[in-house]
Chains A and B, each alone.
Chain A
Amino acid sequence: GAVVSQHPSRVICKSGTSVKIECRSLDFQATTMFWYRQFPKKSLMLMATSNEGSKATYEQGVEKDKFLINHASLTLSTLTVTSAHPEDSSFYICSASFEDRGEQYFGPGTRLTVT
């Protein structure tokens, strides 16, 4: 149980375009979903926390207009990278939990390459 999927697993897009990444909890209802970015030294940076039906809470330094997060249902959250630039190329990972401070279940990640 507690499986989280992400789609697509990898995407290549041109600079200036927008890309949407989906995060789904397959066998449970996720009240909270988290979006992370993994940097080359393998550290994970929390970008934002989203609760179903409400606006996402962004971490300091993360542009909310650039990284649009929608948590439309208890099983789906989306991250849209708008007007992507090469520096946005990274590995984006989502996680989901039953409650705000509960155990998190991680997705496999989405590798974004902006050319």
Chain B
Amino acid sequence: GQNIDQPTEMTATEGAIVQINCTYQTSGFNGLFWYQQHAGEAPTFLSYNVLDGLEEKGRFSSFLSRSKGYSYLLLKELQMKDSASYLCASEDSNYQLIWGAGTKLIIKP
């Protein structure tokens, strides 16, 4: 079956670094998305990885290992506004999205 796993909740300190992991099992693979969603708002696109490796975009980086079915989102220099849910979604061979349940990230001062 198709499945995406990510932690339900994580807590981190302002200014620190946090890594949110995502493992996936899908029928074929065309890419992996990370979205940020604040409560009551639409998800904001963060990254889309197709190839193995790390892609850096400012304070956010995303890593993909296709052989391991694994991705992570790395957030550096955490700010209070980074408190949100982070959604991992895998695009299968039919370009359908398989969504994780989201990781609620709580940032403490």
Q: Which residues of A contact B (CB under 8 A)?
A: 2, 9-10, 34, 36, 41-46, 91, 93, 100-101, 103-106, 108-109, 111
Q: List 6 A-B contacts (CB under 8 A).
A: A43-B45, A44-B45, A104-B37, A105-B101, A108-B96, A109-B97
> Smallest CB–CB gap between B1 and chain A, Å?
11
B85 touches A103 (CB 8 A): yes
A36 touches B42 (CB 8 A): yes
Per DSSP, chain A at the interface is strand
A91 to B37, CA, bound (A): 19
Interface residues of B in 88-105 (CB under 8 A from A): 89, 94-99, 101-102
Residue of A whose beta carbon sits closest to that of B96: A108
Q: Which residues of B contact A105 (CB under 8 A)?
A: 99, 101
Partner of A2, one of B40, B98, B101: B101
Q: Which residues of B contact A42 (CB under 8 A)?
A: 33, 45, 48
A43 to B45, CA, bound (A): 5
B42 touches A106 (CB 8 A): no
A44 and B42 contact, Cβ closer than 8 Å, known pairs A104-B37, A106-B87: yes
Q: Which residues of A contact B48 (CB under 8 A)?
A: 42
Q: Which residues of A contact B44 (CB under 8 A)?
A: 43-44
B99 touches A101 (CB 8 A): no
A101 touches B45 (CB 8 A): no
Q: Which residues of A contact B45 (CB under 8 A)?
A: 41-44
